[in-house]
Structure 1
Amino acid sequence: MTSTGALPAPETVAVRAAEILTAIQSDPEFEAFTAAALAYDEAWTCFTGFPVISNWNLDDDKRPLLLEGLRALALKAAVYEMTSDEQATEIPIAVPVDEMMHAMIAQPQLLSRIAERVGVAVIHQTDQEHHDYATGDFTHTAYTAAWGEPAERYWLDHSEAGRRLAILDERYAAAGFRRSGKEHSIDFAAA
């Protein structure tokens, strides 16, 4: 689908996104969805998503991140509902919040049933996503109108996330992981 690039007013998106989030949280399968998404934590081994959070701790951070991921999905669902444009729907999302959305989307049966009952489409395509979130952009404006200021711990501006990724990459390299964990030379048979 080709994007027109036109986005609705962030304040309009905010109203609908808040309604969508409330409907999702009121769904009879929401607790099962939450349990499944949070249980996915054994597979959360991305070197470049959650680790950009200062003093990252999976046990302490996963529930707050779930809420942030749900808010991001609600914003995206509202944009899609108003535009029918999949590419425009891929609004900028902070890196850690995007990682949590992946954990939620990994529960396709539950999420699709909830979305169907709520009457929304869940749009998220990895090759179309944008991590260039910045304070004051469309996403930040819509989020703030819906729920107040986003948690800075998770909603890192793209430039700050990039700075932190550079620090992580240096530390990974010192431990033998190259290209931010995409490569190593550990010979497990010899270890």
Structure 2
Amino acid sequence: MSNTRPMPTTVEVGKAAAEIHAAFQADEEYAAFRRAVLTYNKDWPCYSGFATISEWDIATDGEPLFEEGLYALCLKSAVYSLTGDERAAEIPLPNPVDDVTHAMLAQPQMLTRIAERIGATVIHQTDQEKLTYITGGYTCECYVAAFGHEPPTRYWIDKAEVDRRLALLDIEHQKIGILNNGLSHRFKFEAMA
């Protein structure tokens, strides 16, 4: 569903996102949801998202990334609640934060129940997502309005920097036979001892 309503102000989004976030954290299944997502973290690795974090380590980055992913889902839900427009709600996110939202969406039953209880709509459509986050842009301003601080640059990495890091990673990956940042490889497992 899409309409042509203009984007809400960052203050409007911030207020709505903060309310959604508080309700989400107060929900009876929040702790179980958090635990499920963090337990599932061995399946998180992604060549184009988490790998762009300097010295990425699931053991120390998992919990902070969960928080950032929840912030992102709340921001997107807030935009949707104010516009009714699924496309508009796909605000720009950085690759690592988008990746953790996928881990959250992999817990559909709990996420759906929580969203229904708090009256929020979780928005995520992979073919509509925008991995074009820029510090100081609309998403960043909404985040600050909602949560009272700047997004941590460790995870909220600008699009140009993500692209630069992906190019560097691709060079390193190719040295060991991984191509296109993990989309293919040249390993012949039958021939490997």
Tell me the TM-score normalized by structure 2: 0.96
Are 1:39 and 2:25 matched, yes or no?
no
Q: What is the CA deviation profile of residues 17-64 of structure 1, one whole-angstrom value per residue up to 9, with x for unaligned ones?
A: 011001000101000000111111121131111010001000100100
- Which residue pairs with 1:123 in the alignment? 123
Once residues 3 and 71 of structure 1 are traced to their aligned partners in structure 2, the CA distance between those partners, rounded to angstroms, is: 24
Shift of 1:5: 6.6
Once residues 159 and 25 of structure 1 are traced to their aligned partners in structure 2, the CA distance between those partners, rounded to angstroms, is: 33
- Which residue pairs with 1:143 in the alignment? 143
One-letter amino acid of the structure 1 residue matched with residue 169 of structure 2: L
Once residues 61 and 111 of structure 2 are traced to their aligned partners in structure 1, the CA distance between those partners, rounded to angstroms, is: 21
RMSD after superposition: 1.0
One-letter amino acid of the structure 1 residue matched with residue 89 of structure 2: T
Once residues 181 and 172 of structure 1 are traced to their aligned partners in structure 2, the CA distance between those partners, rounded to angstroms, is: 8
Number of residue pairs the alignment of both structures matches = 191
| Alpha carbons 2:3, 2:84 under 8 Å: kept | no
Q: What is the CA deviation profile of residues 130-186 of structure 1, one whole-angstrom value per residue up to 9, with x for unaligned ones?
A: 010001211001101112101010000100111111111111011110111111111
Q: What is the CA deviation profile of residues 94-147 of structure 1, one whole-angstrom value per residue up to 9, with x for unaligned ones?
A: 110000000000000000000000100001010000010001211001101112
- Which residue pairs with 1:171 in the alignment? 172
Tell me the TM-score normalized by structure 1: 0.97
Once residues 123 and 6 of structure 1 are traced to their aligned partners in structure 2, the CA distance between those partners, rounded to angstroms, is: 18
Once residues 73 and 99 of structure 1 are traced to their aligned partners in structure 2, the CA distance between those partners, rounded to angstroms, is: 12
| Alpha carbons 2:2, 2:84 under 8 Å: kept | no
Question: Hey, which bits of structure 1, 4+ residues long, moved more than 2 A?
Answer: 1-6
Query: Structure 1: any 5+ residue segments left out of the alignment?
Result: none
- Which residue pairs with 2:78 in the alignment? 78
- Which residue pairs with 1:60 in the alignment? 60
Once residues 78 and 139 of structure 1 are traced to their aligned partners in structure 2, the CA distance between those partners, rounded to angstroms, is: 11
- Which residue pairs with 1:188 in the alignment? 189
Once residues 140 and 5 of structure 1 are traced to their aligned partners in structure 2, the CA distance between those partners, rounded to angstroms, is: 21
One-letter amino acid of the structure 1 residue matched with residue 116 of structure 2: E
- Which residue pairs with 1:13 in the alignment? 13
SS at match of 2:191: coil
| Alpha carbons 1:4, 1:88 under 8 Å: kept | no
Once residues 129 and 183 of structure 1 are traced to their aligned partners in structure 2, the CA distance between those partners, rounded to angstroms, is: 23
SS at match of 2:145: helix
SS at match of 1:126: coil
Query: Structure 2: any 5+ residue segments left out of the alignment?
Result: none
Once residues 190 and 93 of structure 1 are traced to their aligned partners in structure 2, the CA distance between those partners, rounded to angstroms, is: 41
Are 1:157 and 2:161 matched, yes or no?
no
Shift of 1:6: 2.2
Shift of 1:3: 4.8
| Alpha carbons 1:140, 1:150 under 8 Å: kept | yes
